[in-house]
Structure 1
Amino acid sequence: MFKKEDCFFVGSFVKTHGVKGELVAKKSSDLLEKYKLESVLVDIDGGLVPFFITPNGLTPRNHASVRILLEDMDSEAKATRFIGCEIYVPFKDAPDFFEDKEDFEATALIGFTYIDQERGVIGTIEDIQDYSGNIVLVLELNGQEVLIPFSDEHFIEIDEENKSITMKTSEGLIDLYLED
């Protein structure tokens, strides 16, 4: 059985396309296109269910979305049930994803634990924001949204197995969020 902890979050289905069962997925990374995957895991009621992608069933739409046709998905009615479902890919299907720094996509870190070199575990990365090429990790700390810039100079380590990233957070940044 597949667990979310052992997978990359790659996007979610947002609408149908046409009447033959094709779905549009808002993607969080280019992982689907990069690895030309034959299958994906779809979160259905909290469980990850594998689905095969038909040959030529993955079509880029634009920089933020792709069209996907899953096997045995042959009608708009069947596809409609998948709207809102999240899509995952097992780590084993993209083993070198974090190794290629040129193609590294920070969005793959969603769901990873953020560890500060000095303070230890800060929280879970809930979102990634891109402000004109400046990547910002979004965490929650004590019920408050925390924004931490992601840069090579502060990066220390990514642990794929434990889904964690260790960084040296800029001095005083975490303290800003802890003050009342």
Structure 2
Amino acid sequence: MITRDELVEIGRYNKAHGVNGEISATVDCDAEMLTRFTCCVSDIDGIYVPFFIDQARPKSANAVLLTIDGINNEHDASILVNKYIYVLKREYSELARDAHTDSYPIDYFIGFNIYRDDRELGTITDIEDSTANVLFKITASDGSHQYFLPAVEEFIVDIDIDKKKLYMDFPEELMHL
């Protein structure tokens, strides 16, 4: 069974496109990369269900039109409308590394440990994106408290994907807000 911890969000299905089951989607990667994943996963009634992409073609800068195995009409495609699209984290990491890109969806970093000046501060347990600034929700290493840090490139010094470590440099005052 696929669990949420194994997944990274890469987009969202928009609406059915035409009558043959094609569906439009907004995604964080290009159409070619999308076809290289084993599957795309969506939450259907609380269960993470894999869907296999037969074809992906660009529609606009971040929109694609998808043909999915087993979805052959507008009605079947409608079950995916407004559902989030996830892929397996391990595949996403490998493909991103192969593409020589440093861009990862922000929720990819859930579970990473945060370091500042070689001192472990805690673990990213969630992402707060309901405000203008996206924030990492951090649980302190000793579990005593939680705090938020801005998830901005300017504060990120280094990332160790294999060891799930995120090295940051930010004003110390941010930890006490």
Normalization by structure 1: what TM-score? 0.71
Q: CA deviation at 1:20?
A: 1.4
Tell me if structure 1 keeps the 8 A contact 2:30–2:58: no
Instruction: State the partner residue of 1:44.
Output: 44
Would the alpha carbon gap of residues 23 and 111 (structure 1) be closer, same or farther in structure 2, given more than 3 Å must change? farther
Tell me if structure 2 keeps the 8 A contact 1:10–1:32: no
Q: Secondary structure at the match of 1:174?
A: helix
Q: Secondary structure at the match of 1:99?
A: helix
Q: CA deviation at 1:22?
A: 0.9
Q: Distance in 2 between the 1:173 and 1:150 partners?
A: 18
Would the alpha carbon gap of residues 84 and 114 (structure 1) be closer, same or farther in structure 2, given more than 3 Å must change? same
Q: Distance in 2 between the 1:125 and 1:113 partners?
A: 11
Tell me if structure 1 keeps the 8 A contact 2:11–2:85: yes
Q: Provide, for residues 99-158 of structure 1, a one-character-per-residue CA deviation record: whole Å limited to 9, x for no partner.
A: 35842223164462353214222542355xxxxxxxx75334699875232258612422
Q: Provide, for residues 32-57 of structure 1, a one-character-per-residue CA deviation record: whole Å limited to 9, x for no partner.
A: 62263353222212212122222xx2
- Greater helix share, 1 or 2? 2
Q: Which amino acid aligns with 1:39?
A: C
Instruction: State the partner residue of 2:77.
Output: 79
Q: Which amino acid aligns with 2:73?
A: S
Instruction: State the partner residue of 1:131.
Output: none
Alignment of 1:20-169 (within 5 A): 20-27=20-27, 29-30=28-29, 33-34=32-33, 36-37=35-36, 39-54=39-54, 57-94=55-92, 96-100=94-98, 102-107=100-105, 109-110=107-108, 112-117=110-115, 118=119, 119-126=121-128, 138-140=135-137, 146-151=149-154, 154-159=157-162, 164-169=164-169
Q: Which amino acid aligns with 1:52?
A: F
Which 5+ residue runs of structure 1 have no aligned equivalent?
A: 128-135
**Runs of 4+ deviating beyond 6 Å:** 141-145
Q: Distance in 2 between the 1:152 and 1:171 partners?
A: 9
Instruction: State the partner residue of 1:5.
Output: 5
Normalization by structure 2: what TM-score? 0.72
State the Cα RMSD in Å.
3.4
Give the number of aligned pairs.
Answer: 165
Which 5+ residue runs of structure 2 have no aligned equivalent?
A: 139-144
Tell me if structure 1 keeps the 8 A contact 2:106–2:127: no
Instruction: State the partner residue of 1:132.
Output: none
Tell me if structure 2 keeps the 8 A contact 1:19–1:75: yes
Q: Secondary structure at the match of 1:113?
A: coil
Q: Which amino acid aligns with 2:5?
A: E
Q: Percent identity?
A: 21
Q: Which amino acid aligns with 2:104?
A: A
- Greater strand share, 1 or 2? 1
Query: Which piece of structure 1 moves more, 140-149 or 78-87?
Result: 140-149
